[in-house]
Amino acid sequence: MRKTAIILAAGLGSRLKPLTETEHKCMTKVGGMPIIQRTLENLESFDVKEVIIVVGYLHEKLMQQIKDMKVGMDIQFVVNPDYKNSNTILSLNYGLESINREFDFLYVIEGDVVFEKKVLQRADESRYKNVSILEPYNENLEGTFVTLGKDARIIDWRHKSDQEDGYVLTDKYKTVNIHKFSAAFVRNSLMPEVETYIEKNGVMQPMEKVMRSIVTMGNTPIYGEVLRGEKWYEVDDVNDLKKAEEIMGKM
Protein backbone atom coordinates (compact mmCIF):
# COMPACT_ATOMS: atom_id res chain seq x y z
CA MET A 1 0.00 0.00 0.00
CA ARG A 2 1.29 3.45 -0.95
CA LYS A 3 0.66 5.90 1.86
CA THR A 4 0.92 9.69 1.93
CA ALA A 5 0.24 12.11 4.79
CA ILE A 6 -0.68 15.77 5.14
CA ILE A 7 0.16 17.50 8.42
CA LEU A 8 -1.51 20.86 9.03
CA ALA A 9 0.97 23.08 10.88
CA ALA A 10 0.43 26.64 9.70
CA GLY A 11 -1.41 28.24 12.61
CA LEU A 12 -0.25 30.86 15.10
CA GLY A 13 -0.82 28.82 18.25
CA SER A 14 -2.00 31.96 20.01
CA ARG A 15 -3.59 30.14 22.94
CA LEU A 16 -0.24 28.61 23.86
CA LYS A 17 1.60 31.91 24.27
CA PRO A 18 4.19 32.79 25.51
CA LEU A 19 5.59 29.39 24.47
CA THR A 20 4.68 30.02 20.84
CA GLU A 21 6.20 33.49 20.57
CA THR A 22 9.50 32.02 19.38
CA GLU A 23 8.64 28.38 18.61
CA HIS A 24 5.87 26.88 16.53
CA LYS A 25 3.25 25.01 18.53
CA CYS A 26 4.03 21.69 16.86
CA MET A 27 7.60 21.97 18.19
CA THR A 28 6.32 22.00 21.77
CA LYS A 29 7.84 19.09 23.63
CA VAL A 30 5.59 16.49 25.22
CA GLY A 31 7.29 13.58 26.92
CA GLY A 32 10.65 15.05 25.92
CA MET A 33 9.90 15.07 22.18
CA PRO A 34 8.44 17.74 19.86
CA ILE A 35 4.87 16.94 18.90
CA ILE A 36 5.60 16.89 15.18
CA GLN A 37 8.66 14.67 15.58
CA ARG A 38 6.54 12.04 17.32
CA THR A 39 3.97 12.32 14.53
CA LEU A 40 6.62 11.85 11.84
CA GLU A 41 8.18 8.88 13.61
CA ASN A 42 4.76 7.28 14.00
CA LEU A 43 4.02 7.77 10.31
CA GLU A 44 7.39 6.35 9.33
CA SER A 45 6.73 3.23 11.41
CA PHE A 46 3.67 2.53 9.25
CA ASP A 47 5.58 2.85 5.99
CA VAL A 48 4.34 6.29 4.95
CA LYS A 49 6.66 7.41 2.15
CA GLU A 50 5.60 11.01 1.51
CA VAL A 51 4.63 13.68 4.04
CA ILE A 52 3.35 17.10 3.04
CA ILE A 53 3.62 19.60 5.88
CA VAL A 54 1.62 22.78 5.42
CA VAL A 55 3.43 25.56 7.27
CA GLY A 56 2.89 29.28 7.82
CA TYR A 57 3.78 30.85 11.16
CA LEU A 58 7.55 30.76 11.79
CA HIS A 59 7.79 28.57 8.72
CA GLU A 60 11.47 29.09 7.91
CA LYS A 61 12.57 28.13 11.42
CA LEU A 62 10.13 25.22 11.58
CA MET A 63 11.20 23.83 8.22
CA GLN A 64 14.84 23.78 9.29
CA GLN A 65 13.99 22.16 12.61
CA ILE A 66 12.11 19.39 10.84
CA LYS A 67 14.90 18.89 8.31
CA ASP A 68 17.32 18.47 11.21
CA MET A 69 15.21 15.56 12.52
CA LYS A 70 16.42 13.50 9.53
CA VAL A 71 13.40 11.23 9.29
CA GLY A 72 13.44 8.60 6.58
CA MET A 73 10.61 9.95 4.46
CA ASP A 74 10.19 12.35 1.57
CA ILE A 75 9.06 15.55 3.28
CA GLN A 76 7.60 18.37 1.22
CA PHE A 77 6.88 21.76 2.75
CA VAL A 78 4.03 23.90 1.46
CA VAL A 79 3.69 27.46 2.74
CA ASN A 80 0.24 28.89 3.41
CA PRO A 81 1.02 32.59 2.92
CA ASP A 82 -2.37 33.60 4.32
CA TYR A 83 -2.03 31.70 7.60
CA LYS A 84 -2.87 34.82 9.64
CA ASN A 85 -6.17 35.31 7.84
CA SER A 86 -7.35 31.78 7.16
CA ASN A 87 -8.24 28.52 8.84
CA THR A 88 -7.44 24.85 8.33
CA ILE A 89 -9.63 24.57 5.24
CA LEU A 90 -7.13 26.64 3.25
CA SER A 91 -4.12 24.75 4.60
CA LEU A 92 -5.83 21.48 3.71
CA ASN A 93 -6.46 22.75 0.20
CA TYR A 94 -2.79 23.68 -0.21
CA GLY A 95 -1.81 20.24 1.01
CA LEU A 96 -4.17 18.40 -1.32
CA GLU A 97 -3.00 20.42 -4.31
CA SER A 98 0.61 19.50 -3.52
CA ILE A 99 0.31 15.71 -3.62
CA ASN A 100 2.71 14.73 -6.38
CA ARG A 101 2.76 10.95 -6.36
CA GLU A 102 0.31 8.10 -6.63
CA PHE A 103 -1.07 6.83 -3.34
CA ASP A 104 -3.61 4.37 -2.02
CA PHE A 105 -4.33 6.07 1.29
CA LEU A 106 -3.90 9.58 2.64
CA TYR A 107 -3.56 10.50 6.30
CA VAL A 108 -4.67 13.99 7.33
CA ILE A 109 -3.36 14.98 10.76
CA GLU A 110 -3.47 18.27 12.62
CA GLY A 111 -0.09 19.39 13.89
CA ASP A 112 -1.06 19.93 17.53
CA VAL A 113 -2.17 16.37 18.31
CA VAL A 114 0.26 14.23 20.28
CA PHE A 115 -0.43 10.51 20.08
CA GLU A 116 1.15 7.15 20.62
CA LYS A 117 1.82 4.72 17.79
CA LYS A 118 -1.17 2.56 18.73
CA VAL A 119 -3.52 5.38 17.76
CA LEU A 120 -2.20 5.45 14.20
CA GLN A 121 -2.27 1.67 14.16
CA ARG A 122 -6.03 1.79 14.66
CA ALA A 123 -6.35 3.86 11.49
CA ASP A 124 -3.80 1.82 9.56
CA GLU A 125 -5.44 -1.52 10.36
CA SER A 126 -9.04 -0.33 10.13
CA ARG A 127 -11.34 -2.33 7.88
CA TYR A 128 -12.77 0.95 6.63
CA LYS A 129 -11.30 2.79 3.67
CA ASN A 130 -12.33 6.20 4.98
CA VAL A 131 -12.00 6.55 8.73
CA SER A 132 -11.67 9.15 11.46
CA ILE A 133 -10.17 8.30 14.85
CA LEU A 134 -12.59 9.08 17.68
CA GLU A 135 -12.70 9.22 21.47
CA PRO A 136 -15.96 8.60 23.39
CA TYR A 137 -17.29 11.70 25.12
CA ASN A 138 -16.02 12.59 28.55
CA GLU A 139 -16.34 15.85 30.46
CA ASN A 140 -12.71 16.81 29.84
CA LEU A 141 -13.16 16.94 26.07
CA GLU A 142 -14.33 19.86 23.97
CA GLY A 143 -14.22 20.83 20.32
CA THR A 144 -15.53 18.87 17.36
CA PHE A 145 -17.85 15.93 17.96
CA VAL A 146 -19.47 13.44 15.62
CA THR A 147 -22.55 11.25 15.74
CA LEU A 148 -22.25 7.59 14.81
CA GLY A 149 -24.89 5.44 13.19
CA LYS A 150 -25.39 1.82 14.15
CA ASP A 151 -22.82 0.64 11.61
CA ALA A 152 -20.11 3.04 12.93
CA ARG A 153 -20.80 5.35 10.01
CA ILE A 154 -20.41 9.04 10.85
CA ILE A 155 -23.76 10.70 10.22
CA ASP A 156 -23.05 14.16 11.65
CA TRP A 157 -19.85 16.13 12.21
CA ARG A 158 -20.01 19.31 14.26
CA HIS A 159 -17.34 21.87 14.93
CA LYS A 160 -17.81 23.68 18.23
CA SER A 161 -19.22 26.67 16.35
CA ASP A 162 -22.04 24.45 15.01
CA GLN A 163 -23.10 23.12 18.41
CA GLU A 164 -26.19 25.14 19.24
CA ASP A 165 -27.51 25.63 22.78
CA GLY A 166 -28.88 22.35 24.06
CA TYR A 167 -26.72 20.22 21.77
CA VAL A 168 -26.15 16.99 23.69
CA LEU A 169 -22.57 15.69 23.78
CA THR A 170 -22.88 12.70 26.08
CA ASP A 171 -23.72 10.28 23.25
CA LYS A 172 -21.20 11.77 20.82
CA TYR A 173 -17.54 11.11 19.94
CA LYS A 174 -14.68 13.59 19.92
CA THR A 175 -12.58 13.76 16.78
CA VAL A 176 -8.89 13.12 17.45
CA ASN A 177 -8.02 14.99 14.22
CA ILE A 178 -6.37 11.95 12.67
CA HIS A 179 -8.06 10.71 9.51
CA LYS A 180 -7.31 8.15 6.80
CA PHE A 181 -8.89 8.46 3.37
CA SER A 182 -8.75 6.37 0.21
CA ALA A 183 -7.35 7.82 -2.99
CA ALA A 184 -10.78 7.60 -4.62
CA PHE A 185 -12.38 9.54 -1.78
CA VAL A 186 -9.68 12.21 -1.91
CA ARG A 187 -10.03 12.67 -5.66
CA ASN A 188 -13.80 12.37 -6.00
CA SER A 189 -15.11 13.85 -2.76
CA LEU A 190 -12.61 15.63 -0.54
CA MET A 191 -10.76 17.76 -3.10
CA PRO A 192 -13.83 18.99 -4.99
CA GLU A 193 -15.76 19.63 -1.77
CA VAL A 194 -12.92 21.66 -0.27
CA GLU A 195 -12.61 23.74 -3.45
CA THR A 196 -16.37 24.31 -3.63
CA TYR A 197 -16.60 25.25 0.02
CA ILE A 198 -13.81 27.82 -0.30
CA GLU A 199 -15.45 29.33 -3.39
CA LYS A 200 -18.75 29.74 -1.55
CA ASN A 201 -17.62 30.53 1.99
CA GLY A 202 -14.05 31.80 1.88
CA VAL A 203 -11.00 30.59 3.79
CA MET A 204 -11.82 31.48 7.41
CA GLN A 205 -13.58 28.21 8.22
CA PRO A 206 -12.10 25.04 9.75
CA MET A 207 -11.93 21.86 7.68
CA GLU A 208 -14.62 20.34 9.91
CA LYS A 209 -17.20 22.37 8.00
CA VAL A 210 -16.37 20.46 4.83
CA MET A 211 -16.41 17.14 6.65
CA ARG A 212 -19.89 17.88 7.93
CA SER A 213 -21.03 18.67 4.41
CA ILE A 214 -19.61 15.39 3.11
CA VAL A 215 -21.15 13.15 5.77
CA THR A 216 -24.56 14.80 5.66
CA MET A 217 -24.73 14.45 1.87
CA GLY A 218 -24.08 10.76 2.42
CA ASN A 219 -22.60 9.99 -0.98
CA THR A 220 -19.36 8.52 0.36
CA PRO A 221 -19.37 7.04 3.87
CA ILE A 222 -16.78 7.91 6.50
CA TYR A 223 -16.59 5.63 9.50
CA GLY A 224 -15.49 6.12 13.08
CA GLU A 225 -12.71 4.08 14.66
CA VAL A 226 -13.30 4.48 18.39
CA LEU A 227 -10.26 4.34 20.65
CA ARG A 228 -10.13 1.92 23.55
CA GLY A 229 -7.66 3.59 25.87
CA GLU A 230 -4.92 4.43 23.37
CA LYS A 231 -3.13 7.61 24.42
CA TRP A 232 -3.43 10.98 22.72
CA TYR A 233 -4.14 14.63 23.50
CA GLU A 234 -4.71 17.84 21.58
CA VAL A 235 -2.53 20.70 22.80
CA ASP A 236 -4.23 24.08 22.47
CA ASP A 237 -3.16 25.86 25.66
CA VAL A 238 -0.93 25.51 28.72
CA ASN A 239 -3.49 23.42 30.59
CA ASP A 240 -3.67 21.04 27.63
CA LEU A 241 0.10 20.80 27.64
CA LYS A 242 0.11 19.79 31.30
CA LYS A 243 -2.56 17.17 30.65
CA ALA A 244 -0.69 15.86 27.62
CA GLU A 245 2.46 15.48 29.72
CA GLU A 246 0.51 13.49 32.29
CA ILE A 247 -0.97 11.20 29.66
CA MET A 248 2.05 10.67 27.43
CA GLY A 249 4.41 10.41 30.38
CA LYS A 250 2.66 7.17 31.32
CA MET A 251 3.65 5.47 28.07
Q: Tens digit of pLDDT for each residue in 154-208?
A: 999 998 888 888 788 899 999 999 999 999 999 999 999 999 999 999 999 999 9
Confidence of residue 33 (pLDDT cuts 50, 70, 90): very high
Give pTM, 2 decimals. 0.95
C-alpha closest to that of 175 among 209, 141, 203, 206 = 141
Mean pLDDT of the chain: 94
Domain boundaries defined on the chain: 3-248
Of 13-22, 46-55, 90-99, 193-202, the range with the lowest mean pLDDT is: 13-22
Mean pLDDT over 140-152 rounds to: 91
Q: What pLDDT is recorded for position 204?
A: 94
To which CATH superfamily is domain 3-248 assigned?
Spore Coat Polysaccharide Biosynthesis Protein SpsA; Chain A (3.90.550.10)
Q: What pLDDT is recorded for position 100?
A: 84
Q: What pLDDT is recorded for position 251?
A: 52
